[in-house]
Structure 1
Amino acid sequence: MGDNGNTIFRILKSGSISKINKKDGKESISKLPDFVIQNIQNQKNKIYADSQNGLWIYSKTASVFYKKNNTTDWQKITLNSSVNSQNDVIFDIKDDANGKVWIGTDHQGIFVYNTTNNNISNLVYNPNSNSSIASNNIGCLYKDDTGTIWAGHNKKGISYYNDSFGNLVNIELENCKDVSNFLEDKKGMIWAGTISSGLVSYDPKTGEVKTYLNDPAVANSLSDNFVNALFLDHEDNLWVTTENGLNRYNGKDRNFTRFTTSDGLPSNVTYRIEEDNAHNLWISTSRGLTSFNPKNAKVKTYTKSQGLLSDQFNYNSSFKDDAGVMYFGSVNGMIGFNPDRFIKNRVVPEVYITGFQVFNQELMIGKKGSPLKKSIAYTDHIMLDYDQSTFSIDFAALVYTDSESGEYAYKLEGLDKDYTLIKGNRRVFYTKLAPGKYTFMVRAANSSGVWTNEPRKLIIE
């Protein structure tokens, strides 16, 4: 997705561009010319909106297309004759707000296109020059608040450039592979996420470089060395998504708090983060979209059953507009929604006991030897023989919308001290209980977290 401050742009499979107005959410479609469509068909295309209202389309080939403004036509930008569509892929495009657009490639360094005079220069590695770029393999580009352009390399650290000093500065990062994303925090610290080499911080004021890696023996180390994205929330907390969990950076102690599937996330593969107006974090994953409350770590996950196009989301694909509408890209298309407009489900669910099994055999009503005299749904008291001490109980809530998002809490008085929370599974097991009197209690919550007032009870002796 591209964004010029007023409009969100995305490329459709039909060969058109979708334009969404960030103020009113209205969408318009414009068809690309045939010569552009022919070059981008069946490619993973990206679109970039520069600060001069220009649009750029590129993919992992050498094809770059540029539209300077609304009154000009699309044109193909030829980088140089040595770039070919099979070997030289374009990874990123950024502009420096001075009329120069930086194009990062995998083999040919960085091309700088001057939108004023259409000149193109090529920054490449020169082993005989200390001021040349560190390598020709550019994984990502980033523009910070000062207008400085940062470039992430494969195995060669990072480089940065600012017109005020007019030359490239290289920062070698030992054992650092594939810098894939950057972020500048409110203190001016530059953070770089990598593929397999963890997280790196660079302080431009002091020159200090620090690398954060996963250590299996340290619980508050980074959860994984494959960093997918970086995000700053409204309190300037740094969040790091990885291939194995979500991380919050604790600046005072320089360590991390981890959140994984054991904390309720649907998947440990986390991609992008956006923050809503209530300060919940929305996190795209490989198994759905999650709303995460940083204050209490409460998690709510949305999947195809709640209307998503897919449970599998994309790397590097999300945006929040000025009206609070969030956009996330999935493998089946883009979704957009405003959490402020969600309607809370206030219907209190009724919960029923729906089954009772002894040694995995369902009790039959009125059958010889069965303690069940009527439907278990209407039974409040059941007497078991001494050899029926292993049993399981089914239960369900009567809800009419989004039943898969409901939660349950159960306990067996006489055995359990506290309720156990569960999702999805609605059968619990008890094995070889000692003789005595027990009371099974179960409560249910709907998709908005509204719980039953009183638990459903079943006395078991």
Structure 2
Amino acid sequence: MKKSKEPIYRISMAIAMLFVSLAIHAQRFVNTSLEGAQSVCAITQDSDGIIWLGTDNGLYSYDGYHGYRHFQEHTFSNTRVNALGFEGRMLYLATGNGILKFDTQAYQYAETPAMKAFADEAKRKQLKELRVLDIKGGKTDFGGDVYALLSTPRGLLVGSLAGLRLGSRLIPLRAGEQPLVNALAYDAKRRCYWIGTEGALYCADLQLRNFSQIPALNGNSIKCLSTDAAGNLYIGTDNGLYQMALSNAITHYIHDSRDDASIPNNIVWTCFVDKWQNVWVGTDNGLSRLTTHTYYRYVSLDKITMSGEGNCLHAMLQTRNGEWWMGGTNGLIHFTRNAEGYQNVAWYKQNSSAFPLSHNRVRKIYEDHDGDVWICTDHGINFYDRSSRQMRNFIVYDKSGKYSTAWAYDILQDKKGRIWMGSYQGGVFVMDKAALLGGKTIADWHFSDKGKNALSGLHVGQMVMDGKGRIGVSTYTRLDCINPNDMKVVQVANSDVVNYLMADSKGNIWMGDNNSVTCYYAAGSVMGNSFSSKTWQIGGKVSTMCDVEGKIWVVSGNECCVINPQGESQRFMIPSVVPLNICYSRQTHEVMMGGNDGYVAISSDVAQKPKQFTRLMLAGIIVNGQACEERGEILKLKSDENNFTLQLTDLPFADHPSAVYAYRLEGSDHDWHYLNSGNIDITYNGLSYGDYHLTVHAVDGEGKIAAEVYSLDISVLPPWYLSLWCKLFYITALIVFVAWLVSWYFLRKELADAQKQKAEVLEQVQMRMDFFNRLTEDLKAAVAHHSFDEVTALMVRYLNVKIPDVSSSVATGLSASPVSEPESSSSEPVPARSESSEEEKKTVDVSELDGADKRLLEEINEAIEKHMIDSDFNVSMLQDVIGIGGKQLYRKMKAITGRTPVEYIREMRMKRAAELLSQGKFSVSEVMYTVGFSNSSYFSKCFSKEYGMTPTEYMKVKR
């Protein structure tokens, strides 16, 4: 019993002795708001490191860049989530609609009884809000009055409205009515249990027999408890967040409306310590993270100066005795730092009565060989007097008095102890240190852009001394070198712009421009002017550089490139600030990066360790502006889903710096795209259909593509009209079309040939008819005149027959009498319908028709005769010619002839064909074309139907 009381006694005594070292603290919080949710009620983390959040509206996940919503409005998932717990890939949720399950790999909800009940209107009202989960025990029927659970070797601790229970046994925390127990936690460092109630925090021994209150927390509603690996206990209340260190010192974090980096709201619903020891806090106004990174720390200037005034830090220096100097646009801050915090803080400003400074714009802070500190400002040079802690101001002139150090940009001391001063619009001034401190203001040597031994420019930005004692001077676009022995100036390099100049620990000079850094090695004789150089491409504007244990840290924007002159280089994103100046602390082995109103201290181990690039994860997909829950080895998108964003993450809250990344989509991109926008979102718009392969690589210090950190196959499906089946249909249709085109071509050719043949035949027919008509007329005339000579002349003329003279013809018995035989033959009529009595019945008796019908029949016959040769002539054309409607024409023709218009036209054609064939003057083809037929087989079929024999047979019979 006595042994069990000792932890409680020690804790209670320590807290009593401290009497609550309670301070309202303004620690830096990283705050995140979630779209569509206000309060964060539960927090947990999956095996990959993604943070999962239960809110007042549903489930979210967070990857360090974006918050992702996993519920649909007005559904079972759109409800308050009070507790979260993992079992494998399945995330369990205690909600206002009972227990829900979410598959974190498939990104969809698994079916549960509560989910089924929600779909039934009658059962929906029976659903009860749950606040706890018992994943280990598998029990889910805890009532809504249970607020906390903790599994212990002695059983399950249950915190409820009625107090604390171990199983079903009530454990009294105090006499009388028991308080509401909101939170329970086990403390492995202190070997005790923490019990948070409505109004007090209790500490209990492992046997749950002895309880003691923590006086500092009395009166607070304890909502949540969590411990980290260092033994810190985090306590969420309605009055902010408390942190109890292992020493039992208590820190209080509350919301400060003046500070964006304070906790966003004092009502803390939940707190959670992740595997990297970040403290996540769920408040009534979103999510907050108290970062405990080991590789970097951010310090705001107000923590040092205890003032709300800011300063944009352009110059930083840690002296050899450990003092810190930081200057920029609002003066100069001087302090020391030890285990107790920041000491001896002094802020030198232009209008300060305690610590005056000649000008608030500080350009350079320098410690000389004697340990004295010099400060360059826009109103001369200041020397720090340690005895008085005040500044002495100097403005040095050349001998003519024309140039001065009024705008002092840089200062250094050479190996002979002389002070070199660089000035904007003044050049370089050199004089003895003792003489300067003695009050002398005229420089011993002055270098300007005039004369034989001139600088490349008058505006001196920086100066450095190399290992051989030579002084490098940057004048905007040029790098000059001055030999301190003979004071000769030599031009070393010409660049577009010189952004930064520094000397490394080996005495080499490094120059940074808008795209690269170049190292000029100190070589040759001791005071020679020859330099060999090497250039590294950075791919961005160099703003500042620093030598860190043999490696050169180069800052470009918010990226840091670490160049190893003897090996590989690396690159990472700088957290929290965009540095304007960096310096290395040999005492703490940290690189201090100064920015606006604060600085980041990054451990130099970041660059010393072999770089193992973190594999990226796909945290979210946005398609056409809407979140997409699809996951798989291949991302398949429809043709109209070709505007998408892939939201990747490297979990920036993990204890490692984020690399710089580049990506390329094979099948679309030819070049690499670099990601430096503060997230790892990859967006493509209007991507055409096809298969693609996305690869994301880290970028090394020289901007080259390094190891692959992510890859994904993407398939954009074609639109329906370009799908495989449609393509097969198109190919089939094309084949059919080509076949039809070929057929059409040959048909047209055949028709053209037929038309040509028809035209030739008709021409021959017409010529023959003309011939026989003329011959007939001439023969009739000759016979009428009884002139044998005329007949003989006609035979010679038309038939090309040589007629012997009369005597010979009489002698031989020849006679011209056969010439009259054709006339006799041709003059005999050929009855077209004599073969059949049925045909004779069809003959129209014109005499029986009235005048109107007779005229109509004559018009019809005339129209058919006139268009007999036209193969396109049909009933419609007949209607147009005689000007009568189709139905009326049909009735009239039927009434007059007993035949339809089609039959009558065909009969007229056949009658003419029979007449021509019976004459024996024309071939069948000629007759066919003459009567308006183009197809011989069809003509033969129609003729056979009319006369019972083919045209050829008919012609033979008639002959």
Question: Which of 655, 661, 669 is the equivalent residue of 1:407?
Answer: 661
Deviation string 1:389-421 (CA, Å, 9 cap, x unpaired) is: 9945532335433597563544336x67x8945
Residue 356 (structure 2) aligns with: 39
In the alignment, what sits opposite 2:632? 378
Q: 2:547 aligns with which of 248, 254, 275?
A: 275
Measure the CA separation in 1 of the matches of 2:616 and 2:630.
19
2:451 aligned with 1:177: no
Name the CA distance, whole Å, in 1 between partners of 2:713 and 2:404.
Answer: 69
Change in CA separation of 1:313 and 1:177 when aligned onto 2, cut-off 3 Å: same
- State the alpha-carbon separation in 2 of the partners of residues 14 and 203 from structure 1: 34
Distance 1:40 1:174 in 2: 31
Name the aligned partner's letter for residue 6 of structure 1.
N
> CA, structure 1 residues 392+320, in 2 after alignment: closer, same or farther (shift >3 Å)?
same
The C-alpha deviation readout for 1:411-453, integer Å capped at 9, x for no partner, is 336x67x8945424402357556xxx6343445769998854x
C-alpha separation in 2, matches of 1:2 and 1:364: 49
Q: Which amino acid aligns with 1:142?
A: L
Q: Which moved more, 1:167-176 or 1:185-194?
A: 167-176
Q: 1: CA distance between counterparts of 2:620 and 2:352?
A: 64
Amino acid at match of 2:645: D
Give the TM-score taking structure 1 as reference length: 0.59
2:764 aligned residue? none
Residue identity opposite 1:135 in structure 2: Y
2:385 is the alignment partner of 1:67: yes
Alignment of 1:116-195 (within 5 A): 124-127=397-400, 135-137=403-405, 139=408, 140-153=410-423, 157-161=427-431, 168-171=444-447, 172-174=453-455, 176-194=457-475
Contact 1:241 1:247 in 2 (8 A): yes
Q: 1:332 aligns with which of 573, 577, 597?
A: 597
Structure 1 SS opposite 2:652:
coil
Structure 1 residue matching 2:631: 3-state secondary structure = helix
- In the alignment, the residues of structure 2 paired with residue 160 and residue 276 of structure 1 have an alpha-carbon distance, to the nearest angstrom, of 30
- Aligned partner of 1:350 in structure 2 is 617
Q: 1:397 aligns with which of 644, 648, 651?
A: 648
CA 1:297–1:397: 2 relative to 1, 3 Å: same
How far did 1:348 drift?
A: 3.6
1:201 deviates by 1.4
CA drift at 1:143 = 0.6
Aligned-pair CA distance for 1:18: 0.9
Change (3 A) 1:177 1:460: same
- Alpha-carbon distance between aligned partners in 2 of 1:145 and 1:208, rounded to the nearest angstrom: 17
Aligned to 2:693: 440
Write out per-residue CA displacement over residues 183-207 of structure 1, whole angstroms, 9 at most, x where no aligned residue.
Answer: 111233221012x352211234565
Task: Count residues with an aligned counterpart.
Answer: 362
Q: Could you say what secondary structure the match of 2:457 adopts?
A: coil
Partner of 2:821: none
**Are the aligned partners of 2:570 and 2:700 in contact in 1 as well (CA < 8 Å)?**
no
Alpha-carbon distance between aligned partners in 2 of 1:66 and 1:235, rounded to the nearest angstrom: 29
- Unmatched tracts of structure 2, length 5 or more: 1-315, 437-442, 448-452, 522-529, 718-959
Provide the rounded CA distance (Å) in 1 between the counterparts of 2:471 and 2:326. 30
Q: Report the CA distance between 1:142 and its aligned residue.
A: 1.7
Distance verdict in 2 for CA 1:137–1:407, change over 3 Å: closer
Distance, in Å, in 1 between the alignment partners of 2:660 and 2:433 is 56
Q: Distance in 1 between matches of 2:355 and 2:547?
A: 38
Contact 2:318 2:325 in 1 (8 A): no
CA RMSD of aligned residues (A): 5.0
More helix per residue: 2
Q: Does 1:257 align with 2:530?
A: no
Hey, what does 1:248 align to over in structure 2? Answer: 518
**After alignment, is 147-156 or 438-447 more displaced?**
438-447
Identify if the C-alpha distance between structure 1 residues 145 and 272 changes in structure 2 by more than 3 Å, giving closer, same or farther: farther
Residue in structure 2 matched with residue 95 of structure 1 by the alignment: none
- Distance between the aligned counterparts of 2:674 and 2:457, measured in 1? 42
Q: Do the aligned residues in 2 keep the contact of 1:181 with 1:229 (CA within 8 Å)?
A: yes
- Superimposed CA distance per residue, residues 150-179 of structure 1 (whole angstroms, 9 cap, x where no aligned partner): 233555643434589999244442552122
Q: Which residue of 1 aligns with 2:896?
A: none
2:284 corresponding residue in structure 1? none
The one-letter amino acid paired with 1:17 is H
Give 1:302's aligned residue: 573
Indicate if the aligned counterparts of 1:328 and 1:335 stay in contact, CA closer than 8 A: yes
Counterpart position of 1:313: 580
Question: TM-score w.r.t. structure 2 length?
Answer: 0.32
**C-alpha separation between the residues in 2 aligned to 1:256 and 1:445?**
24
Paired AA for residue 179 in structure 1? V
Question: Residues 207 and 155 (structure 1 numbering): CA distance in 2 closer, same or farther, change over 3 Å?
Answer: same
Larger radius of gyration: 2
| Distance (Å, rounded) in 2 between the aligned partners of 1:59 and 1:163 | 18
> CA offsets, 1:327-371, max 9 Å, x none?
232221233232216897876433378255xxxx57999xxxxxx
1:450–1:397: structure 2 CA closer, same or farther, 3 Å change rule?
farther
Q: CA separation in 2, counterparts of 1:152 and 1:402?
A: 43
1:198 aligns with 2:513: no
SS, match of residue 300 in structure 1: strand
Q: Which residue of 1 aligns with 2:712?
A: 456
Distance 2:595 2:637 in 1: 53
1:29 to 325, 344, 347: 344
- Contact between 2:317 and 2:324, CA under 8 Å: does it hold in 1? yes
Q: Is the 8 A contact 1:156 1:173 kept in 2?
A: no
Task: Kindly report which structure 2 residues correspond to 1:59-138, keeping only aligned pairs within 5 A, or say none.
Answer: 59-61=377-379, 66-68=384-386, 72-74=387-389, 77=392, 103=394, 105=395, 109=396, 124-127=397-400, 135-137=403-405
- Distance in 2 of aligned mates of 1:406 and 1:134: 49
Q: 1:389 to 1:207 in 2, by over 3 A?
A: farther
For residue 5 of structure 1, the aligned residue among 299, 320, 331 is 320
What amino acid is the match of 2:597?
N
Deviation for aligned residue 1:256: 7.0
Partner SS for 2:543: strand
Opposite residue 512 of structure 2, the aligned amino acid is T
- In 2 relative to 1, CA 348–20 (structure 1 residues): closer, same or farther, beyond 3 Å? same
Which structure 1 segments of 5+ residues have no match?
78-89, 91-102, 110-123, 128-132, 215-221, 366-374
Residue aligned with 1:378, SS: coil
**Contact 2:369/2:413 (8 A) holds in 1:** no
Query: Equivalent residues in 2 for 1:421-436 (5 A)?
Result: 422-423=674-675, 424-428=680-684
- Cα offset, 1:67, TM superposition: 3.4
Matches for 1:49-68 after TM superposition, within 5 Å: 59-61=377-379, 66-68=384-386
Structure with higher strand content: 1
- Which SS does the other structure have where 2:684 is aligned? strand
Percent identity over paired residues: 12
The 2-side partners of 1:76 and 1:353 are apart by 57
Asked if 1 retains the 8 angstrom alpha-carbon contact of 2:648 and 2:681, the reply is no
Contact 1:200 1:209 in 2 (8 A): yes
